[in-house]
Amino acid sequence: MARKNQKNLYIFALVLFLSGVGYLMYAGFTENSIYFLNVSEALAAPQEKLTAVRLFGTVAERDLAALDGSLGVRFRLEDKDNKAQTIVVRYRGAVPDTFKPGAEVIVEGAMETGGAFNAKTLMTKCPSKYQKENRG
Predicted local confidence at residue 115, as pLDDT: 81
CB-CB contact of 52 with 81 (8 Å):
no
Please state, in angstroms and rounded to a whole number, the distance separating the CA atoms of residues 10 and 6.
Answer: 6
The 10 Å CB-count burial string (b at 16+, else e) for 93-123 is eebeeebeeeebbbbbbebeeeeebebeebb
Secondary structure of residue 105 in the 3-state scheme: strand
Tell me: do 105 and 64 sit in the same domain.
yes
Q: Is 45 exposed, middle or buried (0-12, 13-18, 19+ CB in 10 A)?
A: middle
Tell me: do 22 and 39 sit in the same domain.
no
Please state, in angstroms and rounded to a whole number, the distance separating the CA atoms of residues 52 and 21.
Answer: 25
Predicted local confidence at residue 136, as pLDDT: 46
Domain range holding 27? 1-33
Please state, in angstroms and rounded to a whole number, the distance separating the CA atoms of residues 39 and 35.
Answer: 12
Tell me: do 45 and 68 sit in the same domain.
yes
Tell me: do 14 and 80 sit in the same domain.
no
Predicted local confidence at residue 50, as pLDDT: 83
Q: What is the pLDDT along the chain (136 residues), one digit of tens a residue?
A: 667 778 888 888 889 999 988 888 777 665 556 778 888 888 888 887 788 889 999 999 888 888 887 889 999 999 988 889 999 999 999 999 889 999 999 999 998 887 889 999 999 987 655 555 554 4
Tell me: do 24 and 41 sit in the same domain.
no
Tell me: do 51 and 112 sit in the same domain.
yes
91 closest CA partner among 46, 62, 59:
59
